[in-house]
């Protein structure tokens, strides 16, 4: 056989005369992106991805089918090739109506594979479910209880009846894992072999703990410093006991410690130790940590309450929401079976909470439990605009909280320096603002007055930058961290969570940043920092999904059983009673499994990610799509089909069956098995070659239909 | 004398069949003159056409002859008083349409009776085939074609001799000669005219080519939309077989070759040669990957050669008159003549065959008589969906593969659609993309989805929903599709868009930025309006409105309901008071 | 063909075509054209029948029948209006004519009127560009159309159909 030499992307390749460019490239270890080529099947030339340009050759060529001549100099990276390939990928993705991952996962700041763990829960594999969750979140039992679950807001099941109860299913599985059945063990990941690198994490809240957890798993030596007596940050001191029993949190933190993360409490960076043990030691400063450690993660959170901002707010009895919750948390004994306080906290009979978020809900419900008779929530908009969780609002109402909608504090009136009344400006909703929310405007001259003993301002929280003066802050007085790398102004110092950029957010957001930062820091410690980049994924258009789900049978959402309002007003014991096992399994079965079964192996998305593509600019009509479930052991999802014809070609050439064929012409053509005649379908010998050859998730092997 | 009625498809559409029947009905049992029929002489704008001959000499050409004139014509001919018919005679000015042409491919069109082989033979028919079979080797035939400089008339302009030679050199006993008569370009009908009006010329050209490459079968793949062409071709094949020009041991030589046709079933992409072969094999007409090329493995994976109808229509003439005589016409790199189907807003539309090297302006103004209705010419579209628009200021470009290519258009198969100031160029681009996206076979991504996305962008522009950046997006799609599409259909589909952007970018910008169609053609961007001061309330518009969109009392100003209005313009053309205008 | 009520002259005619075409897969398009000529469209039983007779898989026959615009899988009206949308017709206002026809008959491209009288199909080019805009109703070509002319032609066909009923 005659040999030829060609050059591809600067690399000299030797091949047999008569072989295609793609074959020679592959044999010489040069990657040429391609989709519709498949070993053992005749080339077809549909995808237009394997284009190459040759020096002195006028047209771009398909590597799969072009036979090169000796001496050709080829490239897959000229501007012309890149443009044509990028457009081909954008065109394909613009007509590929499929979800790579479930919309639940996409909306989760930590990107938790909800569909993946729900499937394991449905199968009864709770340990496996926890394993999946802990790939993104080390605190599932805690987060499962308190997360406002953005995943559920995006759940497609909402188009049918109601979203899945995703968060509580996580809570169920994680609790199961914490209390393993006889003969099984709690899931405990192992750290990788030691790297010799040391990382300090400042702040033991959800973000810091997550960063520590994942850095430790990568083999680094990790120490977490926290100013409070116990780890957990806002989960420990901001979320009331009745929502998250602290013994659960402790056990999850203990698992992180078990992994080999060193946890040190009562250390406030830059100041003397707050406990006896550190009273006389040298203060630990950012500077000293930088010297001792290879990297430092700042995850100190946002612990300063914003003030009400009206006259009289300096009076005694005006509290910050966070401060109030922390004081109560410090007084709760998580191991007391009655859920009583270790000491009394007097807030009087009448309490007003200002704000409409979850902190306001936590504060008002806590106030109820402290014995306040009249608890008011003062909010300047209406319930529709409240940022707090629906469920939290309902619970608060059940527990007797009075909502004063469309009111805003105008003045706090005190007597002898102590709060006596709060004067409220009555508001009404005006025109929608930029965010689409209707902004409240005062109704001139209309006021209302409430007699109160305590006013709690739950209207926001900010970073307390003490001890972190060396770090550059942004205009809002928050640490400026790079979006992709979490780098701060100091070399080797990274910052995440509530202390950075946009400020306070929900716990799972901090957890998401903790994981991402751990990956970036790991790469940094390995010598080359790789910024986090949101991977490109294919997402379905809502309108086609809605259309498709019209006919879907309804299955009601599971409801979390709770203690009665009367009962729970009196103590701090957990309100939720937890799901019964059979209910959870049934609930897990409601999952529509939006994410693609083929995501890990999908050649289409793999190839699409080789280039920076923007298919959204080519959004348009979609080819006719449908899901056909009854073709023997294969489910065919035409929405995802990219018409590479590999299924037809393997059926023809390998299976010698010719069962599949193209119907129609051009953009509207679809692949169909021989229509209507069951006899011919019966001819399928179920070799599954077509499903194996499919470069994307259009064909799925399922159990045989009866 | 002989009365000959032109009965090509356009002639029949204009009523030639009725004229013919009426003349026959007026004729008595024994007349001293005959009635005959011929194909299309290309003067479509004058159909139905009746020629009166004395022997081979044309005495009088009567135009726009409807059936009512039959009586007059018959008696004038009978009494030999042709001067009585002068009101029907062609005007001298219109005669220029033919006198300025040089006809080789169309040399018999409109002159002979297409389904009478003797009529063809009388004009040297089949003499070239005889010469080739009896005095020339296949190599000599190929050499003669090489000397002529004949290039593929289907559009690409590839040297014919080269293809023939490749097929000849290709090893194998079984070879095929195929004629691409799947004339799919909207606005082109040259091939239809040749098959309808001179089918034997096609057969003879193909048999010569079959001899040159060593084919054992010659096949015409003809558009199903051309029923008359198929009838004439069927009849001509039968006659040629009977006369011994088709079959075994043709004209007593060792050469044997079968001949047949297959009717296509409606797919533009089958004009692409490998798609045509797939279709010929009874499959979906989807292009194959090349290599192998058809010359090596085409129909039934045997060596095959494919040429277009017009290419074959030149072959017999070249053999008889010599390749050098053909090459003497035209330019450095474009030899011989080219046939164009001149249509659109032209005064004299029809078939034009002229030597290469003449200017577009000459064809449009001197032969075609310029624009109808005193409007200004804006551009001329060449090459249909694969071609482009040449603007008015480039009309002095000569007809030559290279020169036309430089404008961004192509020579194409011969469609030449003339547009005036009322034609929206964005709408024109949209029209072609609508066509190509519907005709895309769907095999490759760039064409299947790319042309669809281009159409969507163009649609939104003409609907007034265009966005900033759309022109650039179109350009990026265009260049990527040109580079990435698998076959000629996709690779050339962006041409109409690229040329209109190149020459009429301001029209695109007006649509996108001002939501205004400068040509006043994009219906979503215009509104019909009745001026109440000018409206007399005559109700003419309301009565004619096909959408019942006009209301108003008699003798009171009327009003158009913009919701109902379909913007057809009927009201405006029916208003005697000029009260209706477009905004 | 067991459930086909038309084992009659038509199937015999189709058999003759199949015979003439040698039951050859290579002649599939010609066979389908003839089948459509015989039946007016391609009923699904006929697609199966042709597949069985030529040895081509039904999926492939279906693929061919849906690729070419000439083939129809549904019956058409008594009068098939083929409105030319070629370049010359476009330039001379074919889009407006389509609106006029749609408006007049209450159908859009590809549809058939409820009374089964008219079907509308737009076609790429009828090759009568010099008479543009053009339409063809069954085998008859109408050129140099205007909105008025189209409506009066449609009315003629309506009257013809009614006359036919009376007779």
The CATH number of residue B77's host domain is: 3.40.30.10
Query: Are C98 and C38 within one domain?
Result: no
CATH of A198-303+463-525, one of 3.40.50.300, 3.40.50.970, 3.30.450.40, 3.50.50.60: 3.50.50.60
CATH, residue B143:
3.40.50.11540
Chain B CB contacts of C64 under 8 Å are 282-284
Query: Are B283 and B323 within one domain?
Result: yes
Domain of residue C20 covers 9-67
CATH of domain A103-187+536-588: 1.10.1060
Query: Are B347 and B389 within one domain?
Result: yes
Beta strand A198-202 with A295-298: parallel, antiparallel or unpaired? parallel
Residue C115, min C-alpha distance to chain B (Å)? 20
* Residue C122 within a domain: yes
Please give the ipTM for the structure prediction. Answer: 0.90
Q: Does B12 sit within 8 Å of C125, measured CB to CB? A: no
Q: What CA–CA distance (Å, rounded) separates A458 from A453?
A: 16
- Nearest CA-CA partner of C38 in C64, C12, C70, C76: C12
Q: Does A664 sit within 8 Å of C59, measured CB to CB? A: no
Residuewise pLDDT in 10s, chain C (167 residues): 444 555 578 999 999 999 999 999 999 999 999 999 999 999 989 999 999 999 998 889 999 999 999 999 999 999 999 999 888 888 888 988 999 999 999 999 989 999 999 999 998 778 788 788 999 998 788 888 998 899 999 999 999 888 765 43
Q: Report the percent of chain A where pLDDT is more than 90.
A: 77
Q: Does B262 sit within 8 Å of C30, measured CB to CB? A: yes
Q: What CA–CA distance (Å, rounded) separates A314 from A412?
A: 9
Chain A CB contacts of C44 under 8 Å are 675-676
Domain termination residue (choose one: C23, C47, C67): C67
Confidence category of residue B150, pLDDT binned at 50, 70, 90? very high
CB-based contact A267:A289 (threshold 8 Å): no
Query: Are C84 and C61 within one domain?
Result: no
* Residue C116 within a domain: yes
- pLDDT, tens only, A600-623: 999 999 999 988 899 999 999 999
* Residue B20 within a domain: yes
Q: Does A660 sit within 8 Å of C59, measured CB to CB? A: yes
- Nearest CA-CA partner of B521 in B420, B435, B391, B451: B420
What integer pLDDT is reported at residue A630 of this predicted model?
60
Beta strand A73-75 with A3-8: parallel, antiparallel or unpaired? parallel
Query: Are B414 and B456 within one domain?
Result: no
Q: Is the pLDDT of residue A202 over 70?
A: yes
Local structure of residue B268 (DSSP, 8 states) = G
CATH, residue B493:
1.20.1440.230
Question: Based on the structure, what is the number of domains in chain C?
Answer: 2
What integer pLDDT is reported at residue C167 of this predicted model?
38
Beta strand B57-62 with B176-181: parallel, antiparallel or unpaired? unpaired
Q: Provide the Cα torsion A236, A240, A243, A245; round to 10°.
A: 50
* Residue B518 within a domain: no
Residue B263 near chain C (CB below 8 Å):
yes
What integer pLDDT is reported at residue B450 of this predicted model?
98
Model pTM?
0.89
Query: Are C58 and C104 within one domain?
Result: no
| Contact map slice: B 84-103 vs C, CB within 8 A | none
- pLDDT, tens only, A225-268: 999 999 999 999 999 999 999 999 999 999 999 999 999 999 98
Interface partners of chain B (CB pairs < 8 Å, 3 or more) are: A, C
Mean of per-residue pLDDT scores for chain A = 92
Residue B36, min C-alpha distance to chain C (Å)? 22
- pLDDT, tens only, C51-100: 999 999 888 999 999 999 999 999 999 999 999 988 888 888 898 899 99
Query: Are C121 and C155 within one domain?
Result: yes
Chain A CB contacts of B275 under 8 Å are none
CATH of domain A624-701: 3.30.70.20
Query: Are C40 and C105 within one domain?
Result: no
* Residue B96 within a domain: no
What integer pLDDT is reported at residue C164 of this predicted model?
60
* Residue C1 within a domain: no
Structure tokens at C32: 């389908």
CATH says A310-461 is which class? alpha beta
Query: Are B185 and B251 within one domain?
Result: yes
Q: Does B456 sit within 8 Å of A59, measured CB to CB? A: no
Confidence category of residue A574, pLDDT binned at 50, 70, 90? very high
By Cβ distance, the residue of C25, C89, C128 closest to B282 is C25
Q: Does A665 sit within 8 Å of C66, measured CB to CB? A: yes
Distances in Å between the alpha carbon of A149 and those of A107, A454, A619? Answer: 9, 31, 30
Q: Does C48 sit within 8 Å of A677, measured CB to CB? A: yes
Domain of residue B322 covers 117-327
* CB contacts < 8 A (B, C): 164
Q: Is the pLDDT of residue B89 over 60?
A: yes
Residue B494, min C-alpha distance to chain A (Å)? 14
Q: What CA–CA distance (Å, rounded) separates A334 from A574?
A: 10
Q: Is A416 exposed, middle or buried (0-12, 13-18, 19+ CB in 10 A)?
A: exposed
Q: Does A62 sit within 8 Å of B289, measured CB to CB? A: yes
CATH, residue C27:
1.10.10
What integer pLDDT is reported at residue A673 of this predicted model?
76
Query: Are C88 and C153 within one domain?
Result: yes
Work out the average pLDDT over A157-161. Answer: 96
Distances in Å between the alpha carbon of A512 and those of A137, A183, A614, A623, B421? Answer: 8, 33, 25, 36, 61
CB-based contact B213:B138 (threshold 8 Å): yes
Q: Is the pLDDT of residue B396 over 80?
A: yes
Chain B CB contacts of A67 under 8 Å are 291
Query: Are C118 and C147 within one domain?
Result: yes
Query: Are B416 and B453 within one domain?
Result: no
Query: Are B323 and B175 within one domain?
Result: yes
**A556 or A275: which carries more pLDDT confidence?**
A556
Work out the average pLDDT over A13-25. Answer: 95
- pLDDT, tens only, B438-483: 999 999 999 999 999 999 999 999 999 999 999 999 999 999 999 9
CB-based contact B48:B69 (threshold 8 Å): no
Residue B439 near chain C (CB below 8 Å):
yes
Q: Is the pLDDT of residue A631 over 70?
A: no
Q: Which CATH architecture has domain A3-85?
A: Roll (3.10)
Query: Are B370 and B413 within one domain?
Result: yes
Question: Based on the structure, what is the number of domains in chain B?
Answer: 5
Query: Are B136 and B239 within one domain?
Result: yes
Residue A481, min C-alpha distance to chain C (Å)? 57
* Residue C50 within a domain: yes
φ and ψ at residue B481, rounded to 5 degrees: -70, -40
Q: What is the 3-state secondary structure (H, E, C) of A584-618?
A: HHHHHCCCCCCECCCHHHCHHHHHHCCCCCCHHHH
Query: Are B314 and B349 within one domain?
Result: no
Tell me the HSE value of B372 on the side-chain side, using a 13 A CA sphere: 16
* Residue B104 within a domain: no
Helix/strand number for chain C, H first, E second: 7, 4
Instruction: Collect all residues from B whose CB is shorter than 8 A from any CB in A.
Output: 267, 284, 289-291, 437-446, 448-453, 456, 473, 476-477, 479-481, 483-486
Mean of per-residue pLDDT scores for chain B = 94
Chain A CB contacts of C72 under 8 Å are none
CB-based contact B190:B198 (threshold 8 Å): no
Dihedral sign, Cα of residue A479, residue A480, residue A486, residue A492: negative
DSSP letters for B115-141: T-HHHHHTTTTTHHHHHHHHH--HHHH
CATH, residue C158:
3.40.30.10
* Residue B509 within a domain: yes
What integer pLDDT is reported at residue B291 of this predicted model?
87
DSSP letters for A413-445: EEETTEEEEEEEEEEEEEEE-TTSPEEEEEEEE
CATH 1.10.1060 range(s) for chain A read 103-187+536-588
Query: Are B274 and B151 within one domain?
Result: yes
By Cβ distance, the residue of C57, C62, C69 closest to A663 is C62
**For B17, nearest residue in chain C (alpha carbons):** C140
Chain A CB contacts of B284 under 8 Å are 662, 665
* Residue B497 within a domain: yes
Q: What CA–CA distance (Å, rounded) separates B50 from B20?
A: 9
- pLDDT, tens only, B482-536: 999 999 999 999 999 999 999 999 999 999 999 999 998 888 888 888 999 999 9
* Residue C130 within a domain: yes
SS3 of B252, please?
helix
Domain termination residue (choose one: C24, C45, C67): C67
CB-based contact A174:A612 (threshold 8 Å): no
Query: Are C95 and C151 within one domain?
Result: yes
Query: Are C49 and C94 within one domain?
Result: no
């Amino acid at each position: 056989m005659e040999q030829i030499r060609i050059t591809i992307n600067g690399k000299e390749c030797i091949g047999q005369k008569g072989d295609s460019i793609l074959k020679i490239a592959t044999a010489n270890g040069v990657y040429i992106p391609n989709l519709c080529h498949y070993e053992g099947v005749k080339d077809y030339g549909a995808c237009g991805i394997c284009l190459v340009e040759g020096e002195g050759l006028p047209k771009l060529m398909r590597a799969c089918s072009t036979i090169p001549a000796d001496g050709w100099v080829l490239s897959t990276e000229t501007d012309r090739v890149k443009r044509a390939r990028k457009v081909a990928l954008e065109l394909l993705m613009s007509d590929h109506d499929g979800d790579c991952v479930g919309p639940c996962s996409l909306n989760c700041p930590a990107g938790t594979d909800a569909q993946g763990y729900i499937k394991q829960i449905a199968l009864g594999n709770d340990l496996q479910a926890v394993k999946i969750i802990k790939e993104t979140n080390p605190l599932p039992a805690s987060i499962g209880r308190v997360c406002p679950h953005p995943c559920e807001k995006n759940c497609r099941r909402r188009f049918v009846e109601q979203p899945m109860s995703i968060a509580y299913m996580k809570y169920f599985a994680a609790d199961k894992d914490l209390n393993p059945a006889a003969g099984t063990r709690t899931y405990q990941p192992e750290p990788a072999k030691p790297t010799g690198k040391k990382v300090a994490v400042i702040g033991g809240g959800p973000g810091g703990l997550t960063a520590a957890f994942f850095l430790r798993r990568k083999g680094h030596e990790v120490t977490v410093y926290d100013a409070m007596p116990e780890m957990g940050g806002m989960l420990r001191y901001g979320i009331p006991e009745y929502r998250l029993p602290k013994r659960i949190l402790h056990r999850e933190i203990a698992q992180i410690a078990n992994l080999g993360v060193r946890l040190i409490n009562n250390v406030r960076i830059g100041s003397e130790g707050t406990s006896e043990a550190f009273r006389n030691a040298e203060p630990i400063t950012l500077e000293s940590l930088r010297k001792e450690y290879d990297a430092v993660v700042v995850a100190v959170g946002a612990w300063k309450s914003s003030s009400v901002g009206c006259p009289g707010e300096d009076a005694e009895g005006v509290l910050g929401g966070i401060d109030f919750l922390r004081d109560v948390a410090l007084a709760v004994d998580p191991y007391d079976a009655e859920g009583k306080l270790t000491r009394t906290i007097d807030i009087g009979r009448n309490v007003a909470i200002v704000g409409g978020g979850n902190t306001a809900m936590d504060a008002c419900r806590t106030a109820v439990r402290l014995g306040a008779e009249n608890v008011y929530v003062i909010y300047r908009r209406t319930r529709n605009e409240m940022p707090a969780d629906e469920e939290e609002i309902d619970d608060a109402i059940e527990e007797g909280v009075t909502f004063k909608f469309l009111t805003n504090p105008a003045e706090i009136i005190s007597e002898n320096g102590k709060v006596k009344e709060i004067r409220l400006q009555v508001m009404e909703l005006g025109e929608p603002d930029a965010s689409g929310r209707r902004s409240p405007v005062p109704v001139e001259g209309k006021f209302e007055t409430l007699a109160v003993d305590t006013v709690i301002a739950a209207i926001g929280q900010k970073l307390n930058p003490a001890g972190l003066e060396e770090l550059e802050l942004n205009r809002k007085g928050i640490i400026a961290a790079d979006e992709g790398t979490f780098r701060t102004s100091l070399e080797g110092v990274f910052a995440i969570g509530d202390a950075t950029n946009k400020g306070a957010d929900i716990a799972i957001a901090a957890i998401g940043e903790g994981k991402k930062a751990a990956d970036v820091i790991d790469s940094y410690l390995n010598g080359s920092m790789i910024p986090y980049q949101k991977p490109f994924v294919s997402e379905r258009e809502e309108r086609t999904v809605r259309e498709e789900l019209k006919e879907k049978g309804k299955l009601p959402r599971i409801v979390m059983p709770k203690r009665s309002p009367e009962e729970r007003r009196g103590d701090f014991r957990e309100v939720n009673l937890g799901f019964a096992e059979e209910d959870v399994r049934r609930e897990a079965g409601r999952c529509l499994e939006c994410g693609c079964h083929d995501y890990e192996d999908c050649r289409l998305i793999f190839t699409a990610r080789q280039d920076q593509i923007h298919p959204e600019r080519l959004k348009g009509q979609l080819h006719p799509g449908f899901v056909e479930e009854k073709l023997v052991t294969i489910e065919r999802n035409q929405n995802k089909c990219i018409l590479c014809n590999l299924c037809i070609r393997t059926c023809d050439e390998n299976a010698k069956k010719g069962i599949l064929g193209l119907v129609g012409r051009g953009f509207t053509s679809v692949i169909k098995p021989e229509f209507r005649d069951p006899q011919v379908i019966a001819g399928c010998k179920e070799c599954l070659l077509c499903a194996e050859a499919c470069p994307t998730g259009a064909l799925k092997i399922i159990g045989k239909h009866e | 004398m002989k009365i000959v009625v032109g009965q090509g498809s356009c002639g029949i559409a204009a009523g030639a069949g009725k004229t013919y029947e009426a003349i026959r009905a007026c004729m008595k049992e024994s007349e001293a003159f005959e009635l005959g029929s011929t194909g299309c002489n290309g003067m479509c704008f004058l159909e139905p056409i009746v020629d009166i001959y004395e022997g081979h000499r044309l005495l009088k050409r009567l135009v726009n002859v409807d059936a009512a004139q039959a009586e007059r014509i018959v008696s004038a001919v009978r009494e030999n008083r042709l001067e009585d018919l002068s009101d029907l005679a062609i005007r001298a000015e219109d005669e220029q349409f033919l006198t300025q042409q040089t006809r080789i491919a169309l040399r018999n069109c409109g002159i002979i009776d297409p389904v009478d082989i003797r009529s063809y033979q009388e004009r040297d028919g089949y003499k070239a085939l005889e010469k080739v079979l009896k005095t020339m080797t296949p190599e000599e035939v190929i050499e003669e074609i090489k000397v002529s400089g004949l290039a593929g008339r289907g559009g690409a302009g590839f040297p014919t001799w080269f293809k023939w030679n490749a097929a000849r050199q290709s090893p194998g006993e079984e070879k095929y000669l195929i004629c691409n008569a799947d004339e799919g370009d909207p606005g082109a009908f040259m091939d239809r005219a040749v098959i309808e009006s001179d089918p034997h010329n096609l057969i003879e050209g193909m048999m010569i080519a079959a001899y040159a490459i060593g084919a054992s079968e010659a096949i015409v793949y003809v558009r199903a939309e051309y029923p008359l062409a198929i009838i004439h071709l069927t009849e001509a094949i039968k006659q040629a077989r009977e006369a011994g020009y088709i079959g075994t041991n043709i004209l007593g030589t060792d050469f044997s070759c079968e001949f047949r046709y297959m009717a296509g079933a409606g797919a533009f992409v089958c004009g692409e040669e490998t798609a045509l072969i797939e279709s010929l094999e009874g499959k979906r007409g989807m292009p194959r990957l090349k290599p192998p090329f058809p010359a090596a493995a085409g129909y039934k994976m045997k060596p095959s050669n494919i040429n277009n109808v017009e290419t074959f229509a030149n072959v017999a003439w070249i053999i008889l008159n010599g390749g050098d005589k053909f090459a003497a016409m035209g330019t450095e790199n474009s030899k011989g003549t080219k046939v164009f189907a001149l249509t659109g807003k032209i005064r004299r539309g029809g078939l034009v065959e002229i030597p290469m090297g003449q200017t577009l302006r000459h064809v449009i103004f001197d032969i075609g008589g310029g624009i109808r209705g005193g409007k200004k010419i804006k551009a001329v579209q060449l090459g249909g969906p694969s071609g482009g628009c040449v603007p008015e200021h480039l009309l002095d470009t000569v007809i030559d593969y290279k020169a036309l290519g430089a404008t961004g258009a192509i020579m194409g198969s011969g469609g030449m659609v003339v547009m005036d100031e009322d034609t929206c160029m964005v709408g024109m681009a949209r029209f072609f993309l609508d066509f190509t996206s519907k005709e895309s076979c769907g095999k490759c991504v760039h064409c299947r989805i790319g042309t669809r996305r281009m159409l969507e962008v163009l649609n939104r522009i003409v609907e007034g929903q265009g966005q900033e950046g759309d022109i650039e997006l179109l350009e990026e799609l265009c260049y990527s599709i040109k580079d990435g599409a698998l076959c000629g259909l996709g690779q050339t589909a962006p041409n109409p868009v690229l040329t209109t952007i190149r020459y009429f970018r301001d029209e695109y910008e007006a649509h996108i930025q001002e939501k205004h169609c400068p040509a006043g053609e994009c219906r979503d961007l215009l509104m019909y309006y009745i001026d109440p001061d000018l409206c007399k309330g005559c109700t003419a518009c309301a009565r004619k409105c096909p959408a019942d969109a006009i209301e108003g009392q008699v003798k009171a100003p009327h009003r158009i309901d913009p919701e109902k209005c379909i913007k057809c313009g009927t009201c405006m053309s029916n208003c005697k008071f000029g009260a209706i205008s477009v905004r | 063909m067991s459930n086909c009520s038309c084992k009659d002259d038509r199937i015999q005619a189709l058999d003759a075509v199949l015979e003439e075409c040698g039951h050859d897969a290579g002649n599939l398009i010609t066979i389908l054209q003839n089948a459509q000529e015989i039946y007016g469209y391609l009923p699904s039983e006929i697609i199966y029948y042709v597949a069985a007779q030529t040895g081509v898989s039904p999926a492939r026959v279906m693929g061919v029948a849906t690729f070419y615009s000439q083939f129809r899988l549904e019956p058409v009206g008594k009068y098939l209006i083929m409105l030319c949308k070629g370049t010359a017709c476009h330039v001379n206002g074919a889009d407006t004519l389509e609106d006029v026809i749609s408006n007049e008959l209450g159908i859009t491209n590809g549809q058939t009127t409820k009374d089964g009288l008219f079907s509308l199909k737009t076609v790429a080019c009828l090759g009568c560009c010099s008479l543009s805009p053009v339409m063809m109703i069954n085998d008859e070509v109408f050129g140099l159309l205007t909105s008025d002319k189209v409506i009066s032609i449609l009315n003629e066909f309506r009257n013809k159909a009614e006359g036919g009923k009376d007779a």
